Amino acid sequence: MNNLTATYRDLQDRLPEVAVFGVGAIEQHGAHLPVGTDWIIACELSRRVAEKLDAFLVPALPFSLSQCHGPTPGTVWLKPLTLAQVVEDVIVSVYQGGIRNIVVINCHGGNFILLDVIERLNRRFEDIYIVMPPESLASYKGIFSDDAPQVEVHAGEVETSLQLFLNPECVRKDRVVDHVPTVGREFMDYAFLKQISPAGVWGRPSRGTVSKGRQYLERLVDAYVNYVREALDFWRSRRRP
């Protein structure tokens, strides 16, 4: 029983080997998806991964680096160093409580600083092991459009499908607008998404379906769980006795 309704004694008696911590975002998602989209996905994805790993589930962080959209109603952000400190503190406290292996599940594309935090913390303690499954592990092939890997960045076919599966009543189908900018994705480092795409969309949400959402979520969970298991095996085989 490794969830938030457990008491600390329950956790102590059957100490989980792994903790799972999702990071979401609250930010504009076009006219058709809720501002909480990334957080909703982070909560659900981390819950499912934690269940399969029999892990301790840390509540997903709702806020992260959402500056990329520019100032927009409903967008909340943390400054990069604030996010870094929050994530570091969460990981260190969980580690000090006895759980050595931590899985961070990032559900917002802009949080590149997470890797810097994880990289450093992995060197700080001898027996800590923090992994962050890359989103690219779960391929789009067979589920989304053939060019989805090149085209899907924000509030498009992928995220719309996930929300149609998880929260269909929150998806405003009548407001769906497809938009694929011609610039590289790194342009979000240089200009606000609302400048690059006035609709606030980078992708093709009109192609989103419930079935794609369900299939992709399952694929994500399986890919992440396998990744964590392999990474843990690798770690165990490399540790000094």
From candidates 72, 76, 167, 187, binder to another protein by CB under 8 A: 187
Is position 199 an interface residue for another protein (rule: CB under 8 A)?
no
Distant-in-sequence, close-in-space partners of 104: CB < 8 Å, separation ≥ 6: 21, 22, 23, 87, 91, 114, 118, 130, 131, 132
Is position 145 an interface residue for another protein (rule: CB under 8 A)?
no
Distant-in-sequence, close-in-space partners of 59: CB < 8 Å, separation ≥ 6: 4, 43
Calpha distance 158→162 (Å, rounded): 6
Distant-in-sequence, close-in-space partners of 170: CB < 8 Å, separation ≥ 6: 33, 34, 163
Is position 13 an interface residue for another protein (rule: CB under 8 A)?
no
Q: Which is nearer to another protein, 13 or 189 (CB)?
A: 189
CA-only gyration radius of the chain, Å: 18
How many residues lie near another protein (CB under 8 A)? 42
Running DSSP on this structure, what letter comes out for residue 8? H
From candidates 76, 177, 191, 210, binder to another protein by CB under 8 A: 191
Q: Is 54 left (phi over 0), alpha (psi -120 to 50) or beta?
A: left
From candidates 23, 41, 84, 223, binder to another protein by CB under 8 A: 84
Q: Which is nearer to another protein, 128 or 217 (CB)?
A: 128
CB of 239 to another protein, least distance (A): 9
Is position 184 an interface residue for another protein (rule: CB under 8 A)?
yes
Which residues contact another protein by CB under 8 A? 65, 67-68, 70, 79-81, 84, 110, 112-113, 115-116, 118-120, 122-123, 129-134, 183-192, 195-196, 198, 227, 231, 234-235, 238
